[in-house]
Amino acid sequence: MLHRKGFTELSKLLSEKKISSREIAESYIKRINETDNKINSYITFDEDRLIREAEISDSRRSAGKALSPFDGIPVAIKDNINTSGIKTTCASKILENFIPPFNAAAYEKLLEKGIIALGKTNLDEFAMGSSTENSYFGTSKNPYDTTRVPGGSSGGSAASVSAFMAPAALGSDTGGSIRQPAAFCGVTGIKPTYGRVSRYGLVAFASSLDQIGTFGRNVEDAASLLQMISGYDNRDSTSINKEVDIDAGKITRSVKGLKIGVPEEYFQGINSEIKERIERKIKELEKLGAEIKPISLRYTEYAIPVYYLIATAEASSNLARYDGVRYGFRADELKDLLSLYVKSRSQGFGKEVKRRIILGTFSLSSGYYDAYYLKALKGRTLIINDFKNAFSQVDAIISPVTTTTAFKIGEMTNDPLQMYMSDILTISANLAGIPALSVPAGLDSNGLPIGIQIMGNHFEEQKILNIAAAVEDTCDEISPSI
């Protein structure tokens, strides 16, 4: 039952020589082979490579040369994070057989600690979606109810951790793509401050919003993995040269004396069970010594249009490189260069990716740039100032992560605007570049997980991790029956 142990728990067992890395690998191979046919969380899973790398790790430990206390533990990697020698598909036909020649900076940092790539997890194509239904490799399913979505775009990573098919996982968050699936799947997921983790080797969707983060079965596991991947990288021009001050071993689990803001705008149009559960947790934090302060983030209602103008514009630019010329899918029966571009992109991209490219190209086009894209940038500044004002009054902000619990597969696929609205409580943190996380708050009456969102000021991950750990202590442990 090693697959049921958490990331830090496995580290302790390895350090005490009670288990081997090979035993961990074998436990996960068995679990994935038994379970993933019901969940579809992995796109690429190589048993032979996993065993081989586990044996190399065991040899290091036997020689007293372990690279870190976590040496030999496997971690799931979202399939838009480059892994040299392992396929990185972005869940798209256009990159179906792409094997990158270099590693992402975040994955490099894991390799330096001896961490093993357990496999590459499913996602919405190019991270564009909120349900993992936009994957070329099929929809992932929620471990609590396989008729429902696991969230997106990091649905495969969240589902793999939730269903005990990974002790922890890397994901990426452009508008809530870690926090929303973490909430839907009953795990902890954190998006760090923009610039905290290098984006080098993360396949770009919207460069000013994308950020790599982590999933864990608990707060300590998510924090430990985030601590490892954080730090300056001169290959990423947006990387911040700041000392890593995240320390999973120093999470205090205390909220005494902290001022926690509760934004009224985040509690409107919310499922009644979610609202009641979050309000109950806020009262419990108050009993633990936190000061609860009502606040207003008045530009929240503009977050969706601002986000979908900026994100699609950046996607339009970033995805221009997939043209069938140098790498990736190339269509057949081509007459000239134009037909190469048109056919390769038409056949290689899925419907949602095409929709966003078209929207972004339109908003950047002559005559529309000022009316749409430039106005969205001004709106983003107002949202940033909203948070600056809030953090001058409070230490952190608490809210729901989602307006509903996990919805049914297929429920929103024919209504993209309704799907976009499911991100309304998460995207502002990306627009402002602040850290935010989701921690489980229990189950609703249908047995579906509810998540609490905690947002902090720039580079105050440790503070929101402390609050999340305090929330965790007030909750019963949850897990799917699968």
Query: Is pLDDT at 417 greater than 90 in this prediction?
Result: no
Rg (CA), the chain: 21
Question: For the segment 217-270, what is each residue's pLDDT rounded down to a tens digit?
Answer: 999 999 999 999 999 999 999 999 999 999 999 999 999 999 999 999 999 999
Point out the catalytic residue in the list 5, 21, 57, 78: 78
* 177 flagged as catalytic: yes
In contact, 83 and 120? CB cutoff 8 Å: yes
Percent share of the chain, pLDDT over 90: 96
- When pLDDT is cut at 50, 70 and 90, the band that residue 413 belongs to is confident
CA triple 116-118-120, angle to 5 deg: 120
In contact, 441 and 147? CB cutoff 8 Å: no
For 387-398, what is the mean pLDDT? Answer: 98
Residue 54 makes CB contacts below 8 A (sequence gap 6+) with: 20, 21, 22, 24, 25, 72, 74, 116
- CA dist 123 and 132 (Å) reads 5
- When pLDDT is cut at 50, 70 and 90, the band that residue 13 belongs to is very high
Point out the catalytic residue in the list 11, 27, 130, 153: 153
Domains and CATH numbers, the chain: 1-482 (3.90.1300.10)
Strands (E), 7-149: 42-44, 74-78, 116-121
- CA dist 252 and 91 (Å) reads 39
Query: Is pLDDT at 418 greater than 90 in this prediction?
Result: no
- When pLDDT is cut at 50, 70 and 90, the band that residue 432 belongs to is very high
The closest alpha carbon to 400, from 431, 434, 442, 430, belongs to 442
DSSP state of 406: P
For 434-458, what is the mean pLDDT? Answer: 98
Question: For the segment 15-59, what is each residue's pLDDT rounded down to a tens digit?
Answer: 999 999 999 999 999 999 999 999 999 999 999 999 999 999 999
Query: Is pLDDT at 165 greater than 90 in this prediction?
Result: yes
Query: Is pLDDT at 78 greater than 90 in this prediction?
Result: yes
Percent share of the chain, pLDDT over 70: 100
Question: For the segment 350-370, what is each residue's pLDDT rounded down to a tens digit?
Answer: 999 999 999 999 999 988 999
Q: What is the mean pLDDT of the chain?
A: 97
What SS3 class is residue 74?
strand
Note the pTM of the prediction, 2 decimals: 0.97
> 200: which strand partners?
none
Residue 371 makes CB contacts below 8 A (sequence gap 6+) with: none
For 173-184, what is the mean pLDDT? Answer: 98
Query: Is pLDDT at 415 greater than 90 in this prediction?
Result: no
C-alpha pair distances (Å), 406 with each of 173, 186, 190, 304: 18, 10, 19, 20
Residue 279 makes CB contacts below 8 A (sequence gap 6+) with: none
Q: What is the pLDDT of residue 247?
A: 98
Q: What is the pLDDT of residue 414?
A: 86
- CA dist 222 and 187 (Å) reads 9
* 316 flagged as catalytic: no
Point out the catalytic residue in the list 177, 316, 363, 399: 177
H or E segment at 362? helix 351-364
* 153 flagged as catalytic: yes
How many residues belong to the chain?
Answer: 482
